[in-house]
Homo-oligomer: A and B are copies of this chain.
Amino acid sequence: MQKEIEVDTVRAEFIEKIGVSAQNEGLPRIAGRVLGTLIFDGKPASFSDLAESLLVSRGSISNSVRLLEERLLIKRVAKAGDRQDYFQLAENPYTSMLDGVVNRIARVKSEIDESLAQIPDDVDGPRARLAQYAGFYGAMVSGLEAALNDLRQEKP
């Protein structure tokens, strides 16, 4: 009995942690909690299950699963004899997640590069400093792309 309670507590805490960390990744907290639920449970959860167990409105679930589907972190599946939509983790959720992170950073780098390209040739200082700043973003992208390859290696 004690063990049962323990697992539920760990589960609840884990889900909340993922909810918080989702905010760092530009996702609303509820989307993170949905993701955390699906990671922990590892089995398809129905639309209403999610709304009830997370104590949020159906509108929020609809919005969250849309965001998570767009990012290829979860997928919608059907269950025979049930009209509801079910959701579970996508094939390679972490690859997709990392891909999203890389893209976000690469996009910032592009914007810096764009500014860099617009600076006249003879304006040396800003040119050099923006180049260095862009290089920093480039280093991050490279590092994360290496991580992405590692990840793809594991589960091809």
Check B144 against A42 for contact (C-beta < 8 Å): no
Interface stretch (choices A45-53, A64-72, A76-84, A112-120): A112-120
Q: Chain A contact residues: over half helix, strand or loop, or mixed?
A: helix
Which B residues touch A119, using CB under 8 A?
Answer: 7, 10
Task: Give A52 to B103 CA distance when docked, in angstroms.
Answer: 35
- A residues 24-41 with Cβ under 8 Å of B? 24, 26, 39-41
Which B residues touch A145, using CB under 8 A?
Answer: 143
Check A151 against B133 for contact (C-beta < 8 Å): no
Chain A residues at the B interface, C-beta cutoff of 8 Å: 3, 6-7, 10-11, 13-14, 17, 21, 24, 26, 39-42, 94, 97-98, 101, 104, 108, 111-112, 115, 118-120, 123, 125-126, 129-130, 132-133, 136, 139-140, 142-148, 150-151
